[in-house]
Each structure stands twice: as structure tokens, then as C-alpha cells.
Amino acid sequence: MTREERLEAEVQWLRTKLEESEYEITDLKQELGYQVDGDLVEALRARGLTRKQNAQIMAALYTRRGHVVTRLVLDSLIPGYRDEMGGFKWMDVQAHNIRAILGFGSIITVWGTGFAIGLKGIEFCEQALAASKRRVA
């Protein structure tokens, strides 16, 4: 087998693995119902998280409270920001911004994995939802 043939075989194998991974991600999204709750995003924006991506992150974390949400999942829930900000670093920046607004303990960084919502974040989301329901009623 020539060098070119080995490289072509390796490229084909990598393409197959990538395609399998994409199918797995799609299946997991469907299985877990990963969508950002638009009503919660608007309630959070009304309560002080005026930047849309901050509200989207908090809504995603609140919906999955008790679990660590990976950067890959957050990136798939909030499309477009990775291209705009470059890589997954934008999430770290937004987590810092959320902490500046809501205080330490609102969002927890799980090093090497992703993020989880903290007690302050849960309280803030519940207050935003309660305020939103009062406005509607």
C-alpha cells in the first residue's frame, strides 16, 4: 500500500467517525429535547441579563439544573457565537459577565467539561419566571 493510499484510507476513516459523531449529537439533542426556552430567555432579559447570549446560557443551564452542560452542547444551543468570538472561549467570557451581574455562585465552571448553574443562578431564574407570570396575569 502506497503512502497516498494509506493517507486516503485514514481520511476516509476520519470522515466516517465524524459523520457517526454528528449523528450521535443529533440523536442526543432529539432525545434530550435540547432547545433554549424562549419565554425564559425573555424573562431573564427583563430581569437584567440584557445581552441575549447571557440569557440564553442561563436558560440552558436552568433547564438542565443539576447537570453539567458541556461547551459543545451550549454551542449547539446558541449558534453563531463561536464563529463571531472564535472557539469556545466566548462561553468563558459570558460566564464571567454573568457572574459580574448576578454574583459569584450563579454559574459554575466545571474545568475541562462545561458549566452548571449555581444556587444564585437558580434563584435568579425562578424570580424571573415568577415576575414574568405576574406580568402576564
Looking up cell 458541556 gives 70
34/28 Cα distance (integer angstroms) = 8
Both 29 and 49 in one domain: the answer is no
Look at residue 29 in the predicted model and tell me its pLDDT: 59
- Residues 7, 69 share a domain: no
Q: Are residues 21 and 55 located together in one domain of the fold?
A: no
Q: Are residues 46 and 20 in the same domain?
A: no
Average pLDDT of the chain? 78
Supply the pLDDT for residue 87. 63
Flag whether the pTM goes above 0.85: no
**Distance, CA of 42 to CA of 47 (rounded, Å):** 9
More confident site: 75 or 115: 115
Enclosing domain of residue 123: 34-136
pLDDT single digits (tens) 15-71? 888 887 876 776 665 555 555 566 777 777 776 677 777 788 888 888 888 888 888
Average confidence (pLDDT) over 100-128: 88
The answer on 104 and 50 residing in a single domain is yes
Same domain (yes/no): 26, 82:
no
53 compared with 2, residue with greater pLDDT:
2
Same domain, 16 and 77: no
- Kindly state whether residues 29 and 39 are assigned to the same domain: no
Q: Which has more confidence, 95 or 49?
A: 95
Distance CA(81)–CA(85), nearest Å, equals 6
Give the chain's domain count: 2
